[in-house]
Structures are given as structure tokens and as C-alpha cells.
Amino acid sequence: MDRGQNMRQVTGILIGAGLRGRKAYAAYALAYPSAFRIIAAAEPDPVRRRAMAEEHGIPEEYCFEDYKEVLSRERFADCVLVCTQDHQHFEPVMTALQKGYHVLCEKPMSPDRKEMLLMEKAALENRRILSVCHVLRYSPFFRRIKKLLDEGRIGELVNIRHTEHVGFWHFAHSFVRGNWRNDKEACPVIMAKCCHDMDILLWLAGSPCRKIQSFGELSFFRQENAPEDAPGFCMENCAHAGECPYYAPRFYLEHPKAEEDHLVYAVSEEISAGKVLEQLSSGPYGRCVFHCDNNVCDNQIVNIEFENGVRADFTMSAFSKDCFREILLMGTKGQIRGNMEKAEIIVDDFVCGDSEHIKIHTPKGGHSGSDMAMMQEFIGLVSRDGNGKSMTDVSVSVDSHLMALAAEESRLSGEVVDFKSFRAGSDGKRSISD
């Protein structure tokens, strides 16, 4: 069914036709053409720009090399999707809001606290939707858990244990060899990967954060852990290919997730074995995992106390077979156990002793259907010219981003961070009004 029924067609501009922009969000326009149409795109990479133009039928004069060009024009669409890299969200989001566009912004909004707060202010002042891609809130899995909590199925919520198993292969791809390996070029992993988790914990706890504390480090993917004779690139006849879990050709050519999760497209637009191997022989994704310029933590834990007394602990680790999230919610009358990979939730009732096993039906890929569900909400809001509220509205997203930044602050300082002071900027750091 076309979700565009009874809705006017929304028009949009895509900024950054990369993995997220083109493959995750622009795909919504192809699936639901009467609801959403992308009429312009900005992308410096000519191959990606051409692919975008062909897939969406965008005429040459509406294909731009830089977001500055498209946003320098008078407003000519309803919304803008900002899907550039982490450091390149602030400027296009601010310009688009000031021009009157509704905006969907990839997470993290910005690695910088002041920029996030300015984005929030601009959205509120211009009365535009600024929705942030915290896609997990839209997943059938977490929606069901939230519903169970709201129904009081486990009484009063007291504790949450939440684990993000990143997957050894996914971690090596994104956080050792890839775009999010170094916090100077992107941002700390607790922000890049785990602002989703901070957001989910904030949502499920149902209360603002009061205190936050964190420990973590880059334990394994370091130069000193390289076997003595390991070359700079796996394909330079590495003698350890057979025993190394991180041997790049094996992952990109054999692991089902490499294609399913679009990771191989980061290596090469054309994914024939020949092209992929050509890129791996000298490109960033072919590097030995011990010889990269990475510095982000490969394991980190966070303890959180919320204002309503709920306490949560969170673990992020590179060292798991699969990439998935697992959660345990402990309440006064029961507990909820959830495994996102298995799409399974178990509700244990302390009174009658029963356990209800719930199997969640989730689409394959796209964060288990979350990407499309988030787009559906955003396009619906835009079609009503912003009438309504996004589940991942800017203000709530600023809070979850700031929790990630506060956790990093604690990891580096060894101190427990008081969240209210941190948000207000009264912890010795500059505030928005500086």
C-alpha cells in the first residue's frame, strides 16, 4: 500500500547522497512515490550524484556539488534531509531552518554542544520541525518494550541493563578503519554509535538524566598489539590472514552483513569481487586493524541515574560475533528481557510466575524497519506543515546527545557529571549564551 494515500506529496532536497542519504532515506521516496519526491540533491561525488539523479529522475539543473549551492536559492521544496558526515550537519541545518525548510538531520546532530543548542534554538524560533535520526525509537522491538512499560506490565521500573554488542566486523569497519575511527575527524564512539542507546535509555526511563559516569578505553586495536611482521595492508601477503578475524577480503567478500548492511558500498560503489579487492589492496578498508590512525574506545561502560530514581547501566563492546542490542528492564512486579537480533521479548510476571514470549515481526535491514517508519512519521509531519510532534524531536534529541557528551566528559575526567549543570553549561564549560 502506498503510504501517500490521503496525503499531499511532500517534496524534498537530499544533502549528502551517501550510504544513509541515498540508501536508507531516499529509498522511502522510491517506495512511496505519491507521499514523497526528492526534487534536488547535493553531493560532491560524481558517481553518487549521478546514481541519485538516475534513481529519482532529478534533472541536471537540480543536481548540486555542494549544499551551499542548493541552500543559497530561495526555498523551493518542503524539507531538507541532511545526511552529510558528523561535522557537516550544523551549517546546512541552520541555513535550511532559516530558509523555512523542515529538516531531518542525521545523528549525531553535531559533535559540539554549543552547535546542538543553537540548532534547537533555530528550530524553535523558526517553528520548523527538526527531527533527528534516532531511528531505534521507531523499531517495532523498542516500541513494544515501551508499550509494555507504559501498560505497567512490570510495575514500577527500577533498573535497566542495556548492552550494545557492536560486532567485531562492524567495529573494525566503522571505528577502526572507517569514518568514525578518530574523534578528531568524527566524534567519540559514545556519541557516534551510542547516542542511539542514550536516547533509548532516556525514553524508556521516562525521566531526565540526573547523573552520569563512564569508564572505557581503546584496549585492543593499537599498534603495539600488531604481530611483529604484520604489513600495513591485509593484502600485502599478511602471514596471519588465516588466523586473523579482521582479514579484510574475507569480511567484505564473504560475510553476509557486508552487503546486507551496505558496508561493502563504503569500500566500492561497484561491488564485484575484482573492484572490492582492488580497493582493499590500498584503500582505507584494507588496512591492518593494528596499523590505522584510530583512537576511539573499543569498549566503554556508562552508569546513569535518572531524576525519577531509575538507574541504568550500559555496555558497548567491539568484541561480539553479531551486531545487536540486548536489554533487561527490572520492575517491582516483573522483568522484561529483550534481544533485538532474535526479535524476541520475554515478560516475566513475579505474581503469577508466568513468562510471556513475544516474537516481534521485523522487516529485514534498515535497522529492522526503523528507517522507513521514521521517514513515514517525518513525511507525515511535513505534509501537515509541522502540525504534530516528532518522536525524535530536536529538544529530546539534544538531551540524549548531551548524555553521550557528559559520559565522555566523565570518562576523561574520572568524575561523576551532574547532568543539569552540564546541559546549562554551568560546569565550567561555555554555555550557549557565551
Amino acid letter at 20?
Answer: R
**Among residues 133 and 297, whose Cβ is nearest to ligand NAD?**
133
**Among residues 28 and 67, whose Cβ is nearest to ligand NAD?**
67
**Among residues 173 and 411, whose Cβ is nearest to ligand NAD?**
173
**Among residues 83 and 117, whose Cβ is nearest to ligand NAD?**
83
Give the nearest distance from C-beta 3 to ligand NAD in angstroms.
20
Give the nearest distance from C-beta 24 to ligand NAD in angstroms.
8
Strands in 157-165's sheet, in edge-to-edge order, are 355-359, 344-349, 334-339, 324-331, 157-165, 311-317, 299-306, 209-217, 417-418
| Helix ranges restricted to H, 194-294 | 195-205, 248-254, 256-260, 263-267, 273-282
Grid coordinates belonging to 253? 567478500
* Strand ranges (E), 48-178: 63-64, 79-82, 102-105, 130-132, 157-165
**Among residues 148 and 189, whose Cβ is nearest to ligand NAD?**
189
Strand partners, 159: 311, 330
Q: CA-based Rg of the chain, rounded to a whole angstrom?
A: 22
Give the nearest distance from C-beta 139 to ligand NAD in angstroms.
11
Question: Taking Cα atoms as reference points, which of 131, 430, 180 lies closest to residue 284?
Answer: 180
Cell 543548542, located at residue: 117
Grid coordinates belonging to 124? 524553535
Give the nearest distance from C-beta 43 to ligand NAD in angstroms.
5
**Among residues 48 and 411, whose Cβ is nearest to ligand NAD?**
48
Give the nearest distance from C-beta 166 to ligand NAD in angstroms.
12
Q: For residue 42, what is the enclosing H or E element?
A: strand 36-42
In the complex, which residues of this chain contact ligand NAD (CB under 6 A)? 15-21, 42-45, 48, 66-67, 83-86, 88, 106-107, 133, 135, 192
Give the nearest distance from C-beta 414 to ligand NAD in angstroms.
28
Q: Which residue's C-beta sits nearest to ligand NAD? A: 18
Cβ–Cβ < 8 Å for 37, 52:
no
What three-state secondary structure class fits 250? helix
Give the nearest distance from C-beta 105 to ligand NAD in angstroms.
9
**Among residues 45 and 349, whose Cβ is nearest to ligand NAD?**
45
